[in-house]
Structure 1
């Protein structure tokens, strides 16, 4: 399919965590709000547009954010509520459009290709925005373009609570005057490197020979050049919430050793928690399975706030196992499954986690990548 035949809409809930809190307490509207842990070692998970005017942004140390805006209201955060509203918006989109991709807890791509035969896609997107806001109370912005890349940048330019269409053929002209940091894939380090070279706009970046960018950034150089020129053939991947990651263990001999069973659950949870983070996904549902010596199999599941953090996953796995296990019977097998998967990086249970906790997860995963999954693990998984 050629770009000219595509019509891709991107939807992004504005300051999602903050606006959910404003729904719960209307007195917060219009005030500088910081979502995150209240200790000096915590970081900012999200902040209101009023707080952003003070130079505050996500992942900033909370201590610095409070120094920049002493009058800000700090809220610990409520992932249960955020997950609930994310699912509500997902259900509305699922019931309205033919194909969509949930790219994070608060972002969606919708493929409206071919729908102009029946009605205007811009009008259709506007009506979907109104429907989401009417049924949830949450503001949402929308960009529409020939591909996912340009539609996402258009959404960022339309914020807050706006809509922007980039007509086919205008992709490069739209991107050209924007700062290079506006381009997805340009992080802090790449942005600093480009600025050292005098590259401040996407137009300048697009004019650099692709070979030069490859020499500078390796294989990412050619992809960056394509993006700077508005080229992106990435498809909208249909959202299927029921995809899962699971593991189970059948024992050499049936057992009622609680410590052994709990150690196995820790090892399995860490194993698939690592896989979850490697795939940049979060789980919204955890299931624990037990098969007894008589082959009777039972399971219990729980819908949880989206996460990929081992300490949160382990807490729920232990809770489910305690509710499920009948200590009078020998156990043959235990299993753990994570389902309701959505794309997304580790949600720094940003509300209480410190920079140290975040760095610890990153270091553990880095060691597992280099030396193998079982080179580093919790002591409770050793028995």
Structure 2
């Protein structure tokens, strides 16, 4: 008997924050609207904008003064996070009524596994009904990708916006997926794309047809993973419990002798933090909580941790936090064992950059820097700056984290 193929939806809300504002204020519909932090002083960064604004050149993370240059009639609103959170709850409630197998990725997008919940209904008609229901009940537009796995569904939902419904079957990937520029592939960041283009991998099709050993030599285990994705292979399940996962990556070592010498202790922290960084990169994750373990000569053991507002991944960030925790909590007795652990990990592939109020002031202060960078790039070329982060905009914020935590609690009640 032939095994039934999976039916995976990726639901992606269109211009979510701006769309929520338009739902509350219908007179804004059809106008260029942007959400930003400090519109009164023309400071801040564009968090999101309506499609009318995007057509005029307004882009996410663009300094507000620059957005006004592109679109003088731009309507800029301050964010109302309670409003967005409430809208998101309604959206995921609707999705969960359709199938219990729903996995939120962020406040405005999620996967659904409808394999056993559609009966004989046509997937496209099913998606149309879902899209219309969200629009009718919440006045919010969305795009839906339909595919046999999560990667293809995600790629499909990006192919037609706003209010698009796109089916991407495995037999269609050579026609629909492979011609796309490698930058457009989900999971390929700027730095990875640059590495691939150096060996003449310019499209997703080029990646799919490249020898997997070549890719592994270039990108490590991620090369093999991307090769599979480009060929339409993705066995990951839609996991409703993924939001509950709080994994950790840690390293500890028993010291060769009981230590009290601070430089020697710091050297151990350097070594442990470097190993944690390597494993974070291997797993393609970032962390928002660093914990240290101290075991004294008498075997008394303590752990202390620091919760962060931003995700980190580098040795320098990890070791700095570890040393600060150690300075704060060490009682100066001899130490037998030290450990460093990165907790509350999040996959880079599932991060989505949406700036919160804490980010606005920080980003606004960088406007002069952005202007200087633009001038330098104009003079010397756009590749003069090498991005430190190897993924598409992916800084998840405390607001995104709070939403996922709220969703987790609601499922547990």
What is the root-mean-square deviation of aligned Cα atoms in Å? 3.3
Within 5 Å, give how 1:277-292 maps onto structure 2. Answer: 278=286
- For residues 200 and 65 of structure 2, the distance between their equivalents in structure 1, rounded to whole angstroms, comes to 33
CA contact (8 A) 1:102 1:239 kept: no
Please tell me whether the aligned partners of residues 104 and 243 of structure 2 are also in contact (alpha carbons under 8 angstroms): no
Map of 1:118-157 to 2, 5 A cutoff? Answer: 118-157=120-159
Distance 1:116 1:354 in 2: 47
Q: 2:147–2:168: 8 Å Cα contact kept in structure 1?
A: yes
| 1:255-276 CA-partner distances (Å, limit 9, x unpaired) | xxxxxxxxxxxxxxxxxxxxxx
Distance in 1 (CA, whole Å) between partners of 2:84 and 2:167 is 28
Looking at structure 2, the residues matched to 239 and 137 of structure 1 have their Cα atoms a distance apart, in angstroms, of 29
Aligned 8 A contact 1:205 1:228 in 2: yes
Distance 1:234 1:352, change over 3 A: same
The structure-2 alpha-carbon separation of the partners of 1:280 and 1:104, relative to structure 1 and needing over 3 Å to count, comes to farther
Q: TM-score, normalised by structure 2?
A: 0.58
* Count of aligned pairs: 272
TM-score (norm. length: structure 1): 0.63
Instruction: Tell me by how many angstroms 1:55 deviates.
Output: 3.4
Residue 205 (structure 1) shift: 1.9
Partner SS for 2:237: coil
Q: Which residue of 2 aligns with 1:43?
A: 45
User: In 2, distance between residues paired with 1:193 and 1:152?
Assistant: 23
Q: Which of 174, 177, 190 pairs up with 1:175?
A: 177
Shift of 1:86: 0.3
Residues 136 and 173 (structure 1 numbering): CA distance in 2 closer, same or farther, change over 3 Å?
same
1:328-339 to structure 2, matched below 5 A, reads: none
1:212 equivalent in alignment to 2:217: no
Aligned to 2:33: 33
Change (3 A) 1:183 1:55: same
Do the aligned residues in 1 keep the contact of 2:143 with 2:160 (CA within 8 Å)?
yes
Shift of 1:75: 1.3
Q: Counterpart in 2 of 1:190?
A: 192
CA 1:96–1:117 in structure 2 vs 1: closer, same or farther (change >3 Å)? closer
Query: How far did 1:117 drift?
Result: 4.2
Q: Does 1:62 pair with 2:69?
A: no
Q: Judge which range, 164-173 or 349-358, deviates more.
A: 349-358
User: Where does residue 203 of structure 1 map in the other structure?
Assistant: 205
For the residues of structure 1 that align with 2:352 and 2:209, how far apart are their CA atoms? 32
Q: Are the equivalent residues in 2 in contact too, given 1:36–1:44 (CA < 8 A)?
A: yes
The CA distance in 2 between the partners of 1:116 and 1:85, in whole Å, is 25
- The C-alpha deviation readout for 1:319-351, integer Å capped at 9, x for no partner, is xxxxxxxxxxxxxxxxxxxxxx9x755742157
- Where does the alignment leave 5 or more consecutive residues of structure 2 unmatched? 248-284, 290-307, 311-345, 367-387, 389-413
Q: Which moved more, 1:13-22 or 1:60-69?
A: 60-69
Q: Residue 72 and residue 111 in structure 1: after superposition, are their counterparts in 2 closer, same or farther (change >3 A)?
A: same
C-alpha deviation, 1:89, in angstroms: 0.6
Partners of 1:353 and 1:78 in 2: CA distance = 16
2:350 maps to 1:348:
no
- Cα–Cα, structure 1 residues 125 and 3, in superposed 2: closer, same or farther, change >3 Å? farther
Q: Aligned in 2, Cα 1:217/1:88: closer, same or farther, shift over 3 Å?
A: same
Partner of 1:259: none
Matches within 5 A, 1:1-383: 5-38=5-38, 42-115=44-117, 117-238=119-240, 278=286, 309=309, 347-350=354-357, 352-355=360-363
The change in CA–CA distance for 1:344 and 1:199 in structure 2 (over 3 A counts) is: closer
Are the structure 2 counterparts of residues 167 and 228 from structure 1 closer, same or farther at C-alpha, using a change threshold of 3 Å? closer
Instruction: Check the 8 A contact 1:183/1:227 in 2, yes or no.
Output: no
1:20-44 C-alpha deviation (Å, 9 max, x unpaired): 1111222221222221123565222
SS at match of 2:87: helix
> 2 CA distance for matches of 1:346 and 1:133?
24
Contact 1:41 1:355 in 2 (8 A): no
Structure 2 CA distance for partners of 1:346 and 1:279, relative to 1, 3 Å: farther
Whether the 8 Å contact between 2:288 and 2:309 is mirrored in structure 1 is: no
